[in-house]
Amino acid sequence: MSSSSIDIKPKKHYEILDGLRGVAAILVVIFHILEAHNGGSRFAQIINHGYLAVDFFFLLSGFVVAYAYDDRWTKMSQWEFYKRRLIRLQPMVIMGMIIGAIFYYFQASNLFPMIAGMEVWKVIVTMVIGFTLLPIPPSLEIRGWGEMHPLNGPAWSLFFEYIANILYALVFRKFSNKVLGIFVFIFAAMLVNYTVFGPNGDVIGGWSLNLQQMNVGFTRLLYPFFAGVLLSRLGKLIHLKGAFWICSILIVMIFSIPRIGDENTLWMNGLYESFAIILLFPLIVAIGAGGEIKNALSIKICKALGDISYPIYIIHYPLIYWYTAWVIDNKVAIKDGYMIGIGVLVSSIVIAILCLKFYDEPVRNWLQNKFQKRRVS
């Protein structure tokens, strides 16, 4: 018996999509920093629709997964697919939980009164369960926000990302474009039904282990992820000069638009979010995938943004817990706390870079060398 790499050759890389992922990730951090100052009102939030980054990430992920793997199933088993996705995503999931545990007791405050008296063993158990991305049961609540991952809230979206990858590998990759299109249409209808006719007029949610929040999570996941798969298959890309900058501006505009309507017209905001997710995000991905970068500086910017996009998303929230507690406990206005907020943003970027260079990339390289092999006679 001898060992050889599976014959899966790398494909063209979409540098612009990597860059856009980084732009969206940084906007998420800014959104969460500003969220601490909104007084608990989603109507007063600055960069009001920053949470739509998650839905954008799902669509990007579906597009990239289909592009990378749709034509490789004759050379690749399901287990090989799962290994590749785990190697790509799981190391930073673990690091995010470790960072969440390190920062946990520093977040003790009036906002999080449970922390001061929390037993260390319970935090460790929560961290270890978090390594697996399995949702934390209510009996292990250690913060008081009802999150399925209370050490690192954004991990909920990775939980749904894994579900999407499993659904793709088990079922959806086998569908024709026509059948997939029917499902995508149904998922779009589900999204419109929830956002326009639902109780909140937005897609906020998905991070708790209860029926209502799981419904939000699946509603947010199914359309964008499988619309991304369909978009990749159709190959209807848009070729524009300056695609990265055009798409970046569009993302900033979509995320920054103030809340539309009020408590009595929730459907108006729901209609906007449906329009953004169903039409604008696929348009942005089509432009981004269809564009080309020839300027060396732009290439470096996109690569740098792409490299830190996942690390910054998955490690920033432990700092946000602390910042939010500090703001609320001390009633800090934006004009008084903005320098600390900038410090949180910069710290998140620095920690993300350190994790990328000294942990994520080395660990992924080691795992690829060890596990992305097969035995052949």
| Averaged pLDDT, 9-29 | 91
Cα–Cα dist 129/124, whole Å: 9
Counting every residue written for the chain, the total comes to 377
How much is the pLDDT for 94?
A: 98
How much is the pLDDT for 13?
A: 83
pLDDT in tens, 174-206: 999 999 999 999 999 999 999 999 999 999 999
Cα–Cα dist 79/66, whole Å: 16
User: For all residues of the chain together, what is the average pLDDT?
Assistant: 94
Cα–Cα dist 220/280, whole Å: 15
Nearest to 174 by CA among 227, 221, 229: 229
Which structure tokens are listed for 263?
Answer: 């408590």
Q: Helices then strands (H, E): number in the chain?
A: 14, 2
pLDDT in tens, 291-323: 999 888 889 999 999 999 999 999 999 999 999
| Residues in CB range of 128: below 8 A, 6 or more apart | none
Contact 259, 219 (CB under 8 A): no
Rounded to the nearest angstrom, the gap between the alpha carbon of residue 254 and the centroid of all alpha carbons in its chain is 17
How much is the pLDDT for 12?
A: 77
Which structure tokens are listed for 360?
Answer: 């994520």
Integer distance in angstroms from the first to the last C-alpha of the chain?
A: 5
